[in-house]
Structure 1
Amino acid sequence: MTTAAAGAAHGGATGAALTGEGLHREYGRGAAAVRALRGVSVAFAPGTFTAVMGPSGSGKTTLLHCLAGMDRPSRGTVRWGDTEVSGLPERRLADLRRTRVGFVFQAFNLMPAMTVAQNVELPGRLAGHPPERARVREALARVGLAGRERHRPGQLSGGQQQRVAIARALVARPEVLFADEPTGALDRATGHDILDLLRAGVDEDGQTCVMVTHDPVAAGYADRVLLLADGVLVDELVRPTAAQVGERLSRLGG
């Protein structure tokens, strides 16, 4: 990791692609309240790949959703570049989310009645700015699905469906790509192919990728690994091996 990237990792550098400052997320009230995040501050330099890990209930998915604008922190701020998004009205936030960030889910979240091309176009159509067909074809070619535009999700393997989901996330050329357990429903070989795609987006296009995963091997594709426990950021590993990640996770109970 470069010195600039390392500085941004600690929230001290300017020009970060994504930052979260003092993030708290609480569900419920009073004695029954669940504190999913407890003052997490983190920044992500442009063109870096970060894995977020931790035991079940550590707050990693909550952090991802808050950073991606899919959930709002109870306290704290989220910025995409220089734009603070945590306090924006929902409609404005939704518009920005469709154009500036992409999201890949473990369960693919494809519409079964739509073709592959229509699935890729869907977020843009919902935003009132459908992508050009050439851009859709380009995104599908990028993930190895050229010529599959008219297929439906049910005609594809799980790995191919995840590739469609990645193409859908990439078609708007977002600055930041979020991935929530993107290989969790795939076999290991197919999972490696998906991770190669995410890595290529960082290395070749300068994209920023933030991925939640439970798999130390998947985390080994990242430039750094953030470790959470009980809603708190407890450690950071730079360019770790899968063995190093696994050992550190075991000490956290993950």
Structure 2
Amino acid sequence: MAETTTYTRTETAARAEDLHRSYGRGPATVHALRGVSVALEPGTFTAVMGPSGSGKTTLLHCLAGMDRPTRGTVRWGDTEVTGLPERKLAELRRTRIGFVFQAFNLMPAMTVAQNVELPGRLAGIRPDRDRVLEALDRVGLAGRERHRPGQLSGGQQQRVAIARALVSRPSVLFADEPTGALDRATGHEVLALLRSQVDRDGRTCVMVTHDPVAAGYADRVLLLADGLVVDELTRPTAAEVAARLGRLGG
């Protein structure tokens, strides 16, 4: 039986303060974020939405420590990560956060278990077999550890990717369009799995999505436009999200 990991509500899981992110120089400068502040409480599920070019993916990458803001700060718990050296930041990423991409990013020649172990192996960490099996059990893939990705459906492959993100038992799970490559029914299964990480384990989940139905799984929805948070919805229905997005041109 998988061990249950829970997270306390005594501190903010992640926080961004006055984030600015620009790319390029001079007249060609693109201002992806223009002063975004957001707090992510432990045990909550937040969806980030907005029109193309609104800054939602940039915000996710800055929060996850995968991109550095031009100005502003990012904290994970009480640790400010913005100015950390790359090596120290990479070490913290391996233990404090998990990241799920739209593309499953699995190695086809490796087994499911080997794919889950891969980030740790690349970091020189000896894999913990029990943790790998626990992560696979949590995503409903117990007994599939010796299969290869090509033997699995698209939804099962995304579950492997989620298990890979969970194996370090992170407090915050980031997901960038995690259902974008899946059909609707399979996407619902993945969204329910992400929701269960919040409800069962108290993990914090942050997801970028363009789908109002997917956003309906979240506790709140942040709406971005032109690099700014312009609206926030709490426990919205898919119809409410779609209507608000329509006003933004998303």
The answer to whether structure 1 residue 75 and structure 2 residue 90 are counterparts is: no
**Mapping of residues 126-205 of structure 1, within 5 Å:** 126-205=122-201
* Residue of structure 2 in register with 1:234 after alignment: 230
The answer to whether structure 1 residue 16 and structure 2 residue 29 are counterparts is: no
The letter for the 2-side match of 1:215 is: D
The letter for the 2-side match of 1:214 is: H
* Residue of structure 2 in register with 1:52 after alignment: 48
Aligned residues: 242
Deviation per residue, 1:126-185 (Å, 9 max, x gap) = 223233111111111111111111111111111010000000001110010000000000
The answer to whether structure 1 residue 247 and structure 2 residue 237 are counterparts is: no
- Alpha-carbon distance in 2 for matches of 1:44, 1:128: 31
Sequence identity, in percent?
83
* Residue of structure 2 in register with 1:84 after alignment: 80
User: What's the CA shift for 1:14?
Assistant: 7.5
3-state SS of paired residue (2:193): helix
TM-score (norm 1): 0.93
Root mean square deviation, CA, Å: 1.1
User: What's the CA shift for 1:252?
Assistant: 0.1
- Alpha-carbon distance in 2 for matches of 1:28, 1:154: 40
- Alpha-carbon distance in 1 for matches of 2:180, 2:242: 17
Which 5+ residue runs of structure 1 have no aligned equivalent?
1-12
- Alpha-carbon distance in 1 for matches of 2:145, 2:178: 22
* Residue of structure 2 in register with 1:5 after alignment: none
Deviation per residue, 1:41-81 (Å, 9 max, x gap) = 00000000000000000000000000000000000000000
The answer to whether structure 1 residue 100 and structure 2 residue 72 are counterparts is: no
- Alpha-carbon distance in 1 for matches of 2:78, 2:192: 29
Q: Which one of 210, 215, 218 corresponds to residue 214 of structure 2?
A: 218
TM-score (norm 2): 0.95
The letter for the 1-side match of 2:225 is: A
Task: Decide whether the 8 Å contact of 1:131 with 1:172 is kept in 2.
Answer: no
